[in-house]
Amino acid sequence: MTAPAARSFRIVCPPAQVPLVEDLLRAQGYGFDPEPFSPWCRRLTAEPRPLGGSLAAFFGLIYIQDRSSMLPPLALAPESGAAVLDLCASPGSKTGFLAQLVGPHGLVVGNEPNHTRLATLRQNLFTLNLVNAVACSHPGEALPLPDGSWTRIQLDPPCSGWGTVERNPSVLKLWQGDKVKPLIGIQRLLLAEAARLLAPGGRVVFSTCTTNVHENEAQVLHARDELGLEIVPLAPPPGFVFAEPELPGCEGTLRVDPERSGAQGFFIACLRKPGHGGLDGRGDAGPLADGPTLSDAERVRAAALPASAWPDTGLNPALLPDGVVAPFGDTAYFLPRPALERLPAALRWRGYPLGKWGKDGIRPSPRLRTLMPYPVGPHDLAGHDGHDGHDGQGGQGDGVPILHMDDPADISGLLTGRSIDAPRNANAALLYWRGLPLARLRVKGGRALWAER
């Protein structure tokens, strides 16, 4: 079965693991080509079953995303180690891509005002193992952040979605005439807030998935004429066809031609606050994670958990970027150092949930593949034939056995309730596919099984 032309995805893993993720997809029958605009992006050519049901998607090694939606983070182009604010973040498509672009030592703050959509954002960042992204929920037009404190802002505001009409035919009927006016008003409030938060020389990328000129070019001219922002011309990325702007003065903005690009209709503009350099995104220090408001970063650091809080997990907490692991309630969270140092106490945010916390220490999430040893040596993955037909068990990492499964069908069987042999004295095991870290399994009575919690 040939995949639809517009079906695309991002690979989400350390660069060295990209070939293994591609091999895992091919082993399940998927075909794809590299996208010309980013080394992280691929376009499907064969989809024997829905891509969302693939092992790569289940373990957060890929993220399915329309190719047009991948462009705004690339237009913002944050430097490695940069701090980025995403004003309207859910479901996390652009937030997650930004977290990849800034790297493990950068920071992305994803703000989602809608609490229901906030849960989706957090779940996606969690599944993708993006420990350098934090999430918060404040009105996007009134964030408790200092003026001029960010050099990179992503703004993908609520819009009419006319560019998604092929997938959502009802949008043209739903958003017509006066019904669009409230959206235009919200977009202008969000643009004004972005202008307030930008440091001199800082940039905001404004994007929508609509073809409505009033939500696109007209908003750019409003930002220029009323908010004092400058239009930064964007170079058209390869692999797309772009239509001319629909209003004069908007040269350098990008309007994706959906039919000729095989993608959603999208509009992208980059705006700059006049001035030079200055701040690098650092604001007043003062963290807040999930739970009661903390008055300052020192209280979080005082509550930091020691390395001994990770007893016999098989994971390597040294693989975390700079930051603090601290308990809030019965959960241990990773709080990136840049977030602790940059975000004021008035901003309520949550870090990455590493797992449950109790008197016996941290019980890591089974999805915490980012802390699994990699690479693993050949002796670890040599193994022997197991009674259940998997390729066997190899060496051990810190006393926790490493299980290698070569057949994707056997891994799928695990996810549907099957168990496999494991050492009887173990209570957990690390699961790999051809050396690719996948998950941490629960072991009970000499049988390893998948458990979501």
Catalytic residues: 209
Q: Interior CA angle at 37 toward 33 and 41, to 5°?
A: 50
The H helix count followed by the E strand count for the chain is: 13, 24
Rounded CA-CA distance 67/349 in Å is 29
Residue from 375, 377, 452, 437 nearest 405 by CA: 437
Alpha helix (H) residue ranges in 303-452: 337-342, 378-382, 408-415
Rounded CA-CA distance 104/336 in Å is 9
Residue from 196, 212, 120, 102 nearest 155 by CA: 196
Tokens 């959906």 correspond to 258
Q: Is residue 17 helix, strand or coil?
A: helix
Residue 1, exposed/middle/buried by CB under 10 A (0-12, 13-18, 19+)? exposed
- What's the DSSP call for residue 445? T
What the block records as the tokens of 336 is: 């990136």
Rounded CA-CA distance 426/65 in Å is 39
> Residue 12, by phi and psi: left (phi above 0), alpha (psi -120 to 50) or beta?
beta
Rounded CA-CA distance 227/194 in Å is 10
Element (DSSP H or E) covering residue 165: none
Q: Are 99 and 67 in contact (CB under 8 A)?
A: no
Tell me, what amino acid is at 311?
A: P
Tokens 């011309």 correspond to 233
DSSP-assigned beta bridge partners for residue 42: 9, 34
Q: Are 99 and 132 in contact (CB under 8 A)?
A: yes
Tokens 């975390």 correspond to 320
Rounded CA-CA distance 187/191 in Å is 6
